Amino acid sequence: MEITQPSGSRPGQAAHSFEHLLRPDVAGLEEYTPILPFEVLSEQLGRRPEEIVKLDANENPYGPAPAVREALTAFPFYHIYPDPEQRHLRAALSAYVGAPAEMILAGHGADELLDYLCRIFLRPGDAIINCPPTFGMYSFDAQLSSGRVVEVWRRPDFSLDVAGIEQAAAGQGVKLLFLTSPNNPDGSLLDPADLRRLLRLPLIVILDEAYIEFAGLEHSAVSWVAGHDNLVVLRTFSKWAGIAGLRLGYGIFPVWILRHLWKFKQPYNVNVAATVAGLAALAHRADLAPTIAALIAERQRLQVELARFPFLQPYPSQANFVLCRVQGREATALKLALAQAGVLVRHYAKPGLENCIRVSAGRPADTDALLAALAGV
Ligand SMILES: *Cc1c(COP(=O)(O)O)cnc(C)c1O
């Protein structure tokens, strides 16, 4: 058995006679490898979805709070278009994050807002500063907007090379700087002193806080946005609230940026189901606190237990995942062996992440299954 990409799912790969009509930068974009859908994986592994221990995408295995499922079931108006101004959602988010609703906009996942930001700032040839190893969407979206990606690599402990970023910021056409706290894939927090220094640069700082609920909201920089006209903070419901499949994210923006985003966004970008679920998750967030605490406890357990394997070297993390350097064996082979045992982890072979795996925190039984599988490889 092998984990393979489905073949033949990309029709029309031969050059087409109308292809010259495409934007050349789009025609030249590299194809990206989509993740395998859960059902397909389940088939390939010969295991039912419930039997797969999915620790490869930082999803919350507890799923949404019961109150969220109830709200989704009870909602009577799915035939009506959503509110383009997201009034209820933005009011509830305002109370959650402590920023005025005038500074908040929700999106079809934080991913949609990343794309919008690239598209409103970047003209062809303009540039972003990306700090790899990090989340892949920043460079992906910049390239979709015909932007250039200037890479300033993190240090071996994943902290930022602030002086390197300052140097890169002086380059021609550099407009956006993407930062992530906690960073994906290692889980380290951004040093507030670094952020303070970087906010003095003449560019827009986009700070992605997708995992901040696992680090503690006291580490958030949302309260800084009001005092900095060049800071945007992005958040999501995908991880802490367990609704990655519904696609709901939001951002806290300086009002001057939001004014332009309002003109730019798709009117119905956040669908009604995501809105209902998001409102219920915020109203019942006390119900979610125990699962967040359980995932944090599981991350801590993973860190201790994974370090006991001589071939794994886990990094400290403030998120719901743990990155491990694999020593003395191939991370690819390890990932495949774990998959055959029904445990999915993320594997990396990129620069800065050579021979690494990333394991999401799951339920205690998920960790048990992972540890048993690791003991067997
Ligand atoms: C998962 C993730 C996101 C995606 O958020 P969505 O709201 O699901 O689009 C954004 N940023 C980082 C760093 C992530 O890991």
**CATH number, domain with residue 191:** 3.40.640.10
Q: Identify the CA nearest to 249 among candidates 141, 104, 73.
A: 104
Atom nearest to 135 CA in ligand 1:
13
Domain boundary among 284, 308, 339: 284
> Are residues 155 and 297 both part of a single domain?
no
> Are residues 364 and 323 both part of a single domain?
yes
**Quick one: pLDDT at residue 81?**
97
Per-residue pLDDT tens over the stretch 144-197: 999 999 999 999 999 999 999 999 999 999 999 999 999 999 999 999 999 999
CATH number at residue 43: 3.90.1150.10
> Are residues 251 and 186 both part of a single domain?
yes
Q: Is the CB of 61 under 6 A from ligand 1?
A: no
> Are residues 301 and 259 both part of a single domain?
no
> Are residues 355 and 269 both part of a single domain?
no
Q: Is the pLDDT at 8 greater than 50, yes or no? A: no
- Mean model confidence pLDDT for the chain: 94
- Which amino acid appears at position 208 of this protein? D
Residue 26 within a domain: no
> Are residues 250 and 300 both part of a single domain?
no
Per-residue pLDDT tens over the stretch 230-273: 999 999 999 999 999 999 999 999 999 999 999 999 999 999 99
Q: Is the CB of 244 under 6 A from ligand 1?
A: yes
> Are residues 280 and 354 both part of a single domain?
no
**Quick one: pLDDT at residue 224?**
98
> Are residues 212 and 335 both part of a single domain?
no
As for how many domains the chain has, the answer is: 2
Per-residue pLDDT tens over the stretch 41-53: 888 888 888 889 9
Å from CA of 134 to ligand 1 middle? 11
Q: Two tokens at 301?
A: 């357990």
Give the H or E element holding residue 231. Answer: strand 231-236
Q: Is the CB of 366 under 6 A from ligand 1?
A: no
Between CA 326 and CA 311 the distance in angstroms is 6
> Are residues 83 and 166 both part of a single domain?
yes
Q: How confident is the model at residue 7 (pLDDT cuts 50, 70, 90)?
A: very low
> Are residues 56 and 177 both part of a single domain?
no
Domain boundary among 237, 254, 284: 284
Between CA 267 and CA 270 the distance in angstroms is 8
Q: Is the pLDDT at 13 greater than 90, yes or no? A: no
User: Considering only 3-12, 120-129, 322-331, which range has the smallest mean pLDDT?
Assistant: 3-12
Bridge partners of 345? 55
Residue 145 within a domain: yes
Q: Two tokens at 22?
A: 């495409």
Domain boundary among 223, 255, 284: 284
Residue 134 within a domain: yes
User: Considering only 26-30, 32-36, 286-290, which range has the smallest mean pLDDT?
Assistant: 32-36
Q: Is the pLDDT at 16 greater than 80, yes or no? A: no
Pick the residue with more confidence: 160 or 33?
A: 160
Residue 206 within a domain: yes
User: Considering only 1-10, 40-49, 62-71, 73-82, which range has the smallest mean pLDDT?
Assistant: 1-10
The domain in which residue 346 lies consists of 38-62+286-376
Q: Is the pLDDT at 2 greater than 50, yes or no? A: no
Å from CA of 248 to ligand 1 middle? 10
**Quick one: pLDDT at residue 173?**
97
> Contact at 8 Å (CB) between 205 and 177?
yes
Per-residue pLDDT tens over the stretch 309-322: 999 999 999 999 99
Residue 360 within a domain: yes
> Are residues 250 and 366 both part of a single domain?
no
Residue 359 within a domain: yes
pLDDT cut 90: percent of the chain above it: 86
> Are residues 87 and 49 both part of a single domain?
no
Å from CA of 208 to ligand 1 middle? 8
